[in-house]
A = this chain, B = another copy of it.
Amino acid sequence: MTAPRSAPGSSLPVTERTRHRRLREQGSLDRAELDAVLAAGFVCHLGVTVDGTVMVVPTVYGSDGSTLYFHGSVASRSLVASPGATVCVTVTHVDGLVLARSVFEHGVNYRSAMVYGVPRLVTDEAEKRAGLRCLTEQSAPGQWDYARRPNRKELAATALLALSLDEASVKLRTGAPDDGEGPDAELGLWAGVLPLRTEWGTPEPDPLLAADAVPPAHIGDRAGRPAS
């Protein structure tokens, strides 16, 4: 059974685009839920329209709770096309397969956030550094202070975009299949969830490093930990 979702804390505003229209899956407009989905990932799918055609591009992001940052080479088509146009950024975590008695009731347990808005090109140098820090720390906490930070030339070669989290929604599904109390339960078939797990593996050193090089704790300690 899908657990009912409470709606504590602050709510996300409902717009024509974020209003949930279907009942079988769970929509949430709880900001804490949005923050949790965004915090659990670091790759989003950015939807933009380029020359009249939609493109969906996987890219890394960072979220500071009110703004989602994403970046890329200044030469990248999708980023050049973004400023001024509404984009949709989707972050999805797949948690398992829902294996029901009937094919029709099969599905996926997942958590997904969709953010709509017009991205703003970040030009202020201090904000650009803060945004890149947010983006770097999202996937690799500790790396901003450990690795060499961007110099002026690298900063200039990077287009950083900021997308407000003001218009966003969350959808998720949890729990067992939905046909356990219907007529199909009589079929005597096994039903349940096959969970999908993501975890970090053992760090693989660059072959150019000395053989005895040891990863710093903020990297090495992640091996074996859940990744979403």
Chain A interface residues (CB < 8 Å from chain B):
1, 17, 21-22, 43, 45-49, 53-58, 60, 73, 75-77, 86-90, 92, 94, 96-97, 99-104, 106-108, 110, 112, 114, 116, 132, 136, 139-140, 143-144, 146-150, 154, 158, 176-177, 180-181, 184-185, 187, 189-209, 213-216, 219, 222-223, 227
Contacts and interface: CB of A to CB of B under 8 A. Distances in A.
Contact of A49 (B49, B185, B223): B49
Contact of A190 (B45, B54, B192, B215): B215
Contacts of A132: 103
A191 B206 contact: yes
A106 B141 CA distance: 13
Contacts of A17: 53, 55
B192 A56 contact: no
